[in-house]
Amino acid sequence: MKREIKFKLNGEEVTAEVESHWTLLYFLREVLKLKGTKEGCGYGECGACTVVIDKMAVNSCLFPVMEVNGKDVLTIEGISGPGEALHPLQKAFIEEGAVQCGFCTPGMIMSAYALFEEKKNPDDEDIKEAIEGNLCRCTGYVKIIDAINAAKRGK
């Protein structure tokens, strides 16, 4: 069933016609061609699809697209301001060597982004809690935690 939704995507008001059974992830990747958000498992287990909705990290693979109506959605494509090349989190991930294959990175960064929305000065436990729903099969997580700490110091 075709339905119209209005929401904010990466800072811009969007009006779109969607199929009511789509997930947000499908809409982002296959319709809007925003391929930064990844699909790993499709079942809420891996966090590769994490986006930030109304300042909270959410698995877009389980999120009905109809529920974004009226909400504020941020994806990896939207976190750096206009003109600015990379967000401090993105820079920190590169500098600390927290990116290997890179598949988990957008999800990790969105989870960390939501953490900074909630807490200005998170400790290691907060960081671990924020990324507990994000799997990484390459780094062993230590560099990722280092990167989030580095971004915190850089702020």
Ligand X SMILES: Cc1cc2nc3c(=O)[nH]c(=O)nc-3n(C[C@H](O)[C@H](O)[C@H](O)COP(=O)(O)OP(=O)(O)OC[C@H]3O[C@@H](n4cnc5c(N)ncnc54)[C@H](O)[C@@H]3O)c2cc1C
* Neighbour-count burial of 149, counting CB atoms closer than 10 A to its CB (0-12 exposed, 13-18 middle, 19+ buried): middle
| Listed residue (9, 7, 115) closest to 55, CA to CA | 115
What is the C-alpha radius of gyration for the chain, rounded to an integer number of angstroms? 15
Specify the residue, 80 or 100, whose C-beta has the smaller distance to ligand FES. 100
Partner whose binding site includes residue 102, from another protein, ligand FES, ligand X, none (CB under 5 to 8 Å by kind): ligand FES
Using the rule CB under 8 A, which residue among 27, 63, 93, 116 binds another protein?
Answer: 63
CA torsion sign for 121, 123, 124, 125 is negative
**Does residue number 66 form part of the binding site for another protein (CB under 8 A)?**
yes
CA torsion, ordered 14, 66, 25, 90, to nearest 10 deg = 50
Query: Among the candidate windows 33-41, 68-76, 89-97, 119-127, which touches ligand FES by CB under 6 A?
Result: 33-41
Closest separation in Å from C-beta 53 to another protein: 8
- Which of ligand X, another protein, ligand FES, none does residue 101 bind to, with CB < 5 to 8 Å depending on kind? ligand FES
Is residue 48 near ligand FES by the rule CB under 6 A? yes
Q: Are 14 and 70 in contact (CB under 8 A)?
A: no
Binding site for ligand FES (CB under 6 A): 39-42, 44-49, 59, 61, 99-104, 136-139
